[in-house]
């Protein structure tokens, strides 16, 4: 059986994609370090605990399994940390990725779905939607690493006939609570889990800046449910397996929501009003990041389905289950 190799397939987006592919009866090999997602269970997949930068491990996998395509989720993602630790980001996100591409070439595997980001675009200071032809000029080292890999992919496509789909994620959010799959970063910097933390602890939630040129002064983002993201990865894979040409496309909902809107929706879902405190703008944040999704709709026949309340509701269910588990684990420790 031909297999799909998922790098970072136990992480937030990777595990939800893996789940979707398993449901569609794809054979999967997953490499992951399991740093933050020890409890992820993906029955039916071959799971290997390891680093995708381990060349020997990759060679063993390509020798052992008949790999039809690779999906690459194994990146460092914290924008703020990338400013202070660019060396680690370039090493993990670029150097190891180039090594991966070279091993793929050596074994004749030339199809890849790559997790890129809207962070590669030049900042936009008006409410326009970003199209794929918008200038690439990333602000953060994180965005630069994603951009570097897109350039690698373009050049490998021309010179070595690589075929790829680069999915430029906007703000991945939500969860698959029914399968116990969701967001658990450490440290957590993403707005939705932080809203829940504030609700749970009855602490004020910090809004970074309310003096942006947006309708209510807080930043506007395009939140995309991980369930929708999982579907678009499966579409991208099918596209490549049926001979699709190299492609980079935005994956978002096409709709922007401000941080203040998020606070209102989260308060309703968590069942309690949430106090807020306004702090200065966070370094690197831009006022608007909203996707023009025409290309992905046209070429991959995909559009996002989940609304913001659905995204937040699913994330809340996952968050609550995770807290219950953590509390039970803490009690067990106390009692042992």
The answer to whether 116 and 127 are in contact (CB under 8 A) is: no
Residue 188 C-beta: closest distance to ligand UFG, Å:
9
90 is catalytic: no
Residue 232 C-beta: closest distance to ligand UFG, Å:
16
Measured from the CB atom, the residue of 106 and 278 that comes closer to ligand UFG is 278
Residue 106 C-beta: closest distance to ligand UFG, Å:
31
In this structure, the strands spanning 220-221 and 257-258 are antiparallel
Nearest to 131 by CA among 140, 141, 122: 122
Measured from the CB atom, the residue of 163 and 250 that comes closer to ligand UFG is 250
Residue 206 C-beta: closest distance to ligand UFG, Å:
5
Residue 221 C-beta: closest distance to ligand UFG, Å:
5
Measured from the CB atom, the residue of 29 and 248 that comes closer to ligand UFG is 248
Residue 56 C-beta: closest distance to ligand UFG, Å:
30
User: How many residues are recorded in the chain?
Assistant: 336
Measured from the CB atom, the residue of 124 and 194 that comes closer to ligand UFG is 194
Residue of 26, 90, 121, 142 with catalytic role: 142
Q: Which residues bind ligand UFG (CB under 6 A)?
A: 77, 79, 117-119, 142, 171, 189-191, 194, 206-208, 219, 221, 259, 282, 285, 289
Measured from the CB atom, the residue of 30 and 77 that comes closer to ligand UFG is 77
The answer to whether 30 and 73 are in contact (CB under 8 A) is: no
Q: Which residue is nearest to ligand UFG (CB)?
A: 219
Measured from the CB atom, the residue of 58 and 220 that comes closer to ligand UFG is 220
Q: Report, as residue numbers or ranges, the catalytic residues.
A: 142
């Amino acid at each position: 059986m031909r297999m799909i190799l998922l790098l970072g397939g136990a992480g937030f987006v990777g595990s939800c994609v893996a789940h979707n592919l398993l449901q569609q009866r794809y054979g999967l090999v997953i490499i992951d370090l399991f740093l933050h997602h020890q409890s992820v269970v993906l029955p039916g997949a071959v799971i290997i605990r390891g680093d995708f930068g381990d060349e020997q491990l990759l060679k063993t996998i390509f020798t052992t399994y008949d790999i039809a395509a690779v999906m690459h989720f194994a990146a460092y993602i914290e924008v703020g940390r990338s400013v202070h630790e660019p060396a680690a980001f370039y090493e993990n996100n670029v150097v190891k990725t180039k090594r991966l591409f070279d091993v793929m070439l050596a074994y004749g595997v030339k199809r890849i779905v790559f997790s890129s980001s809207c962070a590669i675009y030049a900042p936009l200071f008006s409410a326009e939607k970003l199209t794929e032809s918008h200038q690439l000029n990333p602000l953060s080292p994180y965005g630069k690493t994603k951009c570097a890999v897109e350039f690698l992919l373009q050049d490998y496509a021309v010179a070595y006939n690589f075929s790829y789909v680069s999915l430029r994620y906007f703000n991945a959010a939500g969860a698959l609570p029914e399968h116990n799959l969701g967001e658990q970063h450490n440290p957590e910097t993403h707005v939705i889990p932080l809203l829940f933390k504030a609700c749970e602890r009855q602490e004020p939630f910090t809004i970074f800046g309310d003096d942006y040129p947006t309708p209510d002064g807080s930043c506007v983002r395009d939140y995309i449910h991980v369930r929708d993201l999982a579907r678009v990865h499966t579409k991208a894979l099918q596209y490549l397996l049926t001979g699709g040409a190299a492609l980079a496309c935005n994956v978002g909902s096409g709709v922007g929501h401000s941080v203040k809107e998020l606070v209102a929706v989260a308060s309703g879902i968590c069942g309690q009003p949430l106090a807020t405190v306004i702090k200065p703008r966070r370094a690197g944040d831009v006022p608007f990041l909203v996707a023009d999704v025409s290309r992905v709709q046209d070429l991959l026949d995909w559009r996002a389905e989940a609304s913001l309340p659905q995204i937040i509701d699913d994330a809340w269910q996952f968050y609550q289950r995770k807290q219950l588990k953590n509390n039970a684990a803490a009690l067990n420790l106390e009692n042992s």
